[in-house]
Amino acid sequence: MNFIRTEIPDVVIIEPTVHGDNRGYFVETFRADKLEEFLGYKINFCQDNESKSSKGVLRGLHYQLPPHAQTKLVRVISGRVLDVAVDIRKNSPTFGKHVAVELSDENKRQLLVPRGFAHGFVVLEEDTVFAYKVDSYYSPECDRGIAFNDEKLGINWQLEHAELKLSNKDTKQPKLFNITDDKEIFEFGVNYYA
């Protein structure tokens, strides 16, 4: 299993080792001990989620506030997505910056999106199945989002706007730089894993 820090070092690409032959393949998709050794802190995943979407579906950008903030470990079981993590930690040197990584059933890559980041993805192939682990249960009162099309974020979703399919909720999210309430975003340097 290979761990790669991205241009925002807290966001990590995980490349599992694939063992394949003429019968198919075997891949170890998660090892808590190796991940925690690499990160230097513990993550206790408590829930797995899965979605199936058609091409053009965009889900995000979502996050949960403390005390129900979530780390996500995301991957694609079948199909292909562009997965995006946006740093929403106030005073972070990378605040408002993002990492975009293509995840697919072919490359078997995963992305670790830590607490303090908004997360979203756009589906690039029909019938894509997306799966992820979270380390805190869903909390409606802590559920938040930011606009996928916030110009200051500069995210290239790789599809034309007319091709995108969004939920009603995701068409009405605020822009990151319009959020003025300090309780609505994270503080850089705070240990959200304590």
Half-sphere exposure of 174 (CA within 13 A, CB side): 11
pLDDT over 90 (residue 14): yes
- Is residue 194, in this structure, part of any structural domain at all? no
pLDDT at residue number 183: 79
Q: pTM to 2 decimals?
A: 0.94
Whether 136 maps to a domain, the answer reads yes
Which two tokens mark 160? 């034309």
What is the CA 45 to chain-centroid distance, rounded?
15
The pLDDT value given to residue 101: 98
Residue 113: inside a domain: yes
Q: Is 98 a catalytic residue?
A: no
Name the catalytic one among 25, 62, 63, 68. 62
Number of domains in the chain: 1
Question: pLDDT band at 113, cuts 50/70/90?
Answer: very high
20 in any annotated domain:
yes
62 tagged catalytic? yes
| pLDDT score for 107 | 96
Is residue 32 one of the residues assigned to a domain? yes
Q: What is the pLDDT of residue 193?
A: 81
pLDDT of res. 158: 97
> What is the mean pLDDT of the segment spanning 64-75?
96
Summarize the confidence of residues 10-37 as an average pLDDT: 93
Residues 50, 29: contact at Cβ < 8 Å? no
Quick check: is 166 in a domain? yes
Residue 67: CB atoms within 10 Å: 9
pLDDT per position as a tens digit, 34-49 = 999 999 999 999 999 9
Residue 192 belongs to a domain: no
pLDDT confidence of 179, banded at 50, 70, 90? confident
80 pLDDT tier (thresholds 50, 70, 90)? very high
**Side chain identity, residue 68:** H
Q: Which of 63, 98, 132, 138 is catalytic?
A: 132
pLDDT higher than threshold 90 for residue 190: no
User: What whole-number distance in Å separates Cα of residue 130 and Cα of residue 139?
Assistant: 21
- State the CATH number of the domain containing residue 7: 2.60.120.10
At residue 170, the 3 state secondary structure works out as helix
pLDDT at residue 185, rounded to an integer: 82
Helices (H), 15-94: 32-39
pLDDT of amino acid 21: 87
Q: Check whether 129 has a pLDDT greater than 90.
A: yes
How are strands ordered across the β-sheet holding 98-104?
98-104, 80-87, 117-123, 58-64, 143-145
pLDDT at 31 over 80: yes
Domain hosting residue 144, numbered range: 2-187
Q: Is the pLDDT of residue 63 over 90?
A: yes
CA 65/CA 144 separation, integer angstroms:
7
